[in-house]
Chains A and B, each alone.
Chain A
Amino acid sequence: MTDKKIQSVDQATLEMIEKSHQDGCSTVFDRAENMKPCPIGAEGSCCKNCAMGPCRVPINKSKEETPEDHNKRKGVCGATAETISARNFARMVAAGTAAHGDHGRRVTELFMAVAEGKAPGYSIKDEQKLLQLALELGVKVGDRPNNEIAKDIAEILQKDFSRQEGELNFIKRAPLKRQAVWRQNGVTPRGIDREVVETMHHTHMGVDQDYQNLIKQATRTALADGWGGSMIGTELQDVMFGTPSPVLSQINLGVLKEEDVNIIIHGHEPALAEILAVVSQDPVMIEYAKSKGAKGINLVGMCCTANEILMRHGIPIGGNFLQQELAIVTGAVEAMIVDVQCIMQGLTDVAQCYHTKIITTDERAHITGSTFIHFDELNAIEISKEILKMAIDNFPNRHKNVRIPQVKTDMIAGFSHETITYLLGGLFRASYRPLNDNIINGRIRGVAGVVGCNNPRVTHDDVHVTLVKELIKNDVLVLQTGCSAMATAKAGLMLPEASKFAGEGLASVCETVGIPPVLHLGACVDNCRILTAATAMVKEGGLGDDISDLPVAGCAPEWMSEKAVAIGHYFVASGVYTIFGVTWPTVGSKELTDYLFKGLEQSLGGKWDFEIDPYKMAQKMIAHIDLKRKALGIDKSRERVLYDMAMRRDLEK
């Protein structure tokens, strides 16, 4: 038992793991102990793309591989370790892109319904973002009503899903040089669906058997995520629900309230959560909750849906990915309402130990043992009330074993690209200039995007928190999304007071602007906000012509999902050095791994890397940032001196 890994650095998580054992209930932490990862699958050396296999071609790690050994590592069809590994990698990118693309499609459909006045409960909340998109997409504004403008925008963006030729609309948002790089490399995405379908075809048995060409198609597909599906989802959500602006809230399981009906909304698409946020405040519903013996209704978010409603409504977050079952273990959750992505099937088993109802709401994601209530966005209010009522009715069924860990932390979220621009200059001088200037003068060394999931194969939250602390200590401003953002928020890094953990230069800038050194930019789909911010940095000037010139780096330290691979690959394809932790899915092929870690940089300007240790991760990211600073000629810090008249006269002499 002595070498047993610490399961989490989060006190609330450890407390609830212990309670789950007392209650005789097993969670992801126990399942991960009992189910070790398959070593052949983990390195990408297993192919099951036809019935002559599955074929396993693992690398021999005990000795250096000879060309003869390598030649023997082939599937029945002759597929090499390179082909097999590249196909597996490309399929991960396709699955991730499909998930974000389908999210974007649903949002576009709802947006069209709102524009046509067919979705009561939703409206166009953010005229500024609507007009912004109209200008970007060439939609006439004039005196036209918002819904007419919205309809035109929906029609234009809908075509991005099914387009067969040409380019996605948001490709034009990227720096000019980046667009040229994509065109030269033949990786500019056409339609989101087309790229996903083509990747599935490339990777079918007996089709594409050149690992570089497979990665080329994976690149095109990943770009259809970052500059396509994800960006469409994020932008249209902003128009309907509001562009995030700074909001104070709280995070961790301690936000659950013993006397209230606790309802957790978990998943990714914010359409249902937005309505629940409103309906849960309805005095009639609150009275109904009181009639069942509760004091009120407490709506709490989990995973990326949590990020969405936190940023726009200040709804508190219960926890990140690995805490979803533990929220139920508190015994205080009446209902967990889920839609799509990152929802563990283990939830229904855990729920059986308590009284919690698992309510699935999306036709695409049923779970055996859950209660399904189809969420129809055109009848959103009525269905939300029905779901809420079901949760309230469950309050009297609570068992005696209720224990809510008294652990919660304040946090500030809501730093969209638009808000960052405003915060840096106000309404009259909104600009990225102060950021670029402070990077040039060295107060800020660079910018890092730290994103992604949790993974029980490493100590929960530890890699996120250690890495981010190390980065800010070295004057690197950190932008975060997803479960990674939640990990550092729980550690108190998303408050202005956290500048005490930052290096002197970064702290001085954060204190002047009044922002934390770690900025919350939203859910995983909002990683595209980081692309927009990076583009604005390039366009502002002084830091090169392209995203690949910027002193920036990306990281997903505790990744687990296929979406993370798609996100990582669109960052690489956009020119960013991107490092993953936990495990690397192509180690079965040295040639392919070398290509991803070194070769891609020559054509795309970005590259992958892999490291488990958070300190080494930080060192690698900082080394890359320093390399970019050197290339820009800003490697020596220069203080700006304000010259008064006497100093000027001295100069003139």
Chain B
Amino acid sequence: MNEILKMKAPNRPEVEVLGPTYEEGTPQGETTGKWSNKLSSRAEILKYLQTGQRYFFSPTNEGFGSEKRKKPA
């Protein structure tokens, strides 16, 4: 179902984009939606926490986004 759609884009003529690629239907089964099962070892979990939750757990401890500053708030 790799449908190509034509869509309006800001400041550009109409563009072609890839349409929906998901499968029709309702997800079934116990593990549906349980994304964290994809991390299988402790090392993988820790790595994910240090990147995915970097605002809280980055090992560099330098702060991110609004808190990446020289002087403390």
Measured between beta carbons, the chain B residues less than 8 angstroms from A422 are: 35-36, 52
Q: Which residue of B lies closest to A540 (CB)?
A: B65
- The listed residue (B22, B34, B64, B66) touching A245 by CB distance below 8 A is B34
Chain B residue nearest in CB terms to A536 = B55
Q: Check if A541 sits within 8 Å of B52, measured CB to CB.
A: no
With a cutoff of 8 Å between Cβ atoms, the chain B residues found around residue A132 in the complex are 49, 53, 56-57
Which residues of chain A in 538-560 are interfacial with respect to chain B, using CB atoms and an 8 Å cutoff?
Answer: 538-546
Please give, as numbers and ranges, the residues of chain B lying within 8 Å of A539 by CB-CB distance.
Answer: 55-56, 63-67
Any B CB within 8 A of the CB of A387: no
8 Å CB interface, A438-456 against B: none
A430 lies within 8 A of B45 (CB): no
For residue A146, which residue of chain B has the nearest CB? B42
Which of A180, A425, A545: most chain B CB closer than 10 A? A545
- Asked whether, in the complex, the Cβ of B64 is within 8 Å of the Cβ of A540, the reply is yes
Would you call B10 an interface residue if the criterion is a C-beta within 8 Å of the partner chain's C-beta atoms?
Answer: yes
Scoring B32, B33, B48, B51 by chain A CB atoms within 10 A of each residue's CB, the highest score goes to: B33
Q: Are A127 and B45 in contact (CB under 8 A)?
A: yes
Query: Is B13 an interface residue when CB atoms closer than 8 A count as contact?
Result: no
From 396 to 453 in chain A, residues with beta carbon under 8 angstroms from any chain B beta carbon are 414, 418-419, 421-422, 425, 427-428, 430-432
Measured between beta carbons, the chain B residues less than 8 angstroms from A141 are: 42, 46
CA distance A180 to B67 in the complex (A): 13
Bitwise, A564-600 to B at CB < 8 A (1) or not (0) is: 0000000000000000000000000000000000000
Instruction: Fill in one digit per residue for A222-264: 1 if any B CB lies within 8 Å of its CB, else 0.
Output: 0000000000000000000001011110000000000000000
Tell me if A207 counts as interface (CB < 8 A to partner B). Answer: no
B36 pairs with A128, CB closer than 8 A: yes
Which residues in window 30-73 of B have CB below 8 A to A?
32-36, 38-39, 42, 45-46, 48-49, 51-53, 55-57, 63-68, 72-73
| CB <8 Å contact, A545 and B36 | no
Query: Is residue B11 contacting chain A, with contact meaning CB distance below 8 A?
Result: yes
Nearest B residue to A431 via CB reads B52
B18 CB to nearest chain A CB (Å):
12
Contact with B along A310-345 (1 / 0, CB 8 A): 000000000000000000000000000000000000
Q: Of A176, A427, A430, which contacts B73 at CB under 8 A?
A: A176
Residues of A within 8 A of B46 (CB): 131, 135, 141
- In angstroms, Cα B51 to Cα A418, docked, is 12
Residues of chain B within 8 A (CB-CB) of A198 are none
Tell me if A136 is interfacial: C-beta within 8 Å of chain B.
yes
In the complex, number of A-B residue pairs with CB atoms less than 8 Å apart: 104
Q: Which residue of B lies closest to A638 (CB)?
A: B10
Q: A132-B49, A175-B67, A545-B73 are in contact. Are A248 and B27 (CB under 8 A)?
A: yes
Closest to A131 in B: B45
Any chain A CB within 8 A of the CB of B26?
Answer: yes
Question: Which A residues are in CB contact (< 8 Å) with B73?
Answer: 175-177, 180, 545-546
Q: A427 touching B38 by the CB < 8 A rule?
A: yes
Instruction: Count chain A CB atoms within 10 A of each CB in B53, B56, B68, B73 and give the residue with the most.
Output: B53
**Residues of the B chain whose Cβ atoms lie less than 8 Å from the Cβ of A173:** 56
Q: Which residues of B contact A540 (CB under 8 A)?
A: 55, 64-66
Query: Is A419 in contact with B35, judged by CB distance below 8 angstroms?
Result: yes
Q: Does A126 contact B (CB under 8 A)?
A: yes
With A173-B56, A539-B55: A131-B36 Cβ-Cβ less than 8 Å: no
Interface centre among B45, B52, B56, B66 (most CB of A within 10 A): B66
- Residues from chain B with Cβ under 8 Å of A246 in the complex: 32-33
Q: Do residues B64 and A136 form an inter-chain contact, with CB atoms below 8 A?
A: no
Can you name the residue of chain A whose Cβ is closest to the Cβ of B41? Answer: A127
Q: Do B52 and A421 touch across chains, with their CB atoms under 8 A apart?
A: yes
Additional A-B contact list (7), CB under 8 Å, known A180-B73, A427-B38: A128-B39, A136-B56, A136-B57, A248-B32, A425-B52, A430-B51, A539-B67
The 9 closest A-B pairs by CB, nearest first: A541-B65, A430-B52, A539-B55, A246-B33, A177-B73, A639-B10, A176-B73, A540-B65, A245-B33
User: Which residues of A approach B to under 8 Å, CB–CB?
Assistant: 126-128, 131-132, 135-136, 141, 173, 175-177, 180, 243, 245-248, 414, 418-419, 421-422, 425, 427-428, 430-432, 514, 535-536, 538-546, 639, 641
A-B contact pairs, 14 of them (CB 8 A): A128-B45, A131-B42, A132-B53, A180-B73, A245-B35, A246-B33, A421-B53, A430-B48, A430-B53, A536-B55, A538-B67, A539-B63, A539-B64, A540-B65
Interface of B toward A, CB cutoff 8 Å: 10-12, 22, 26-27, 32-36, 38-39, 42, 45-46, 48-49, 51-53, 55-57, 63-68, 72-73
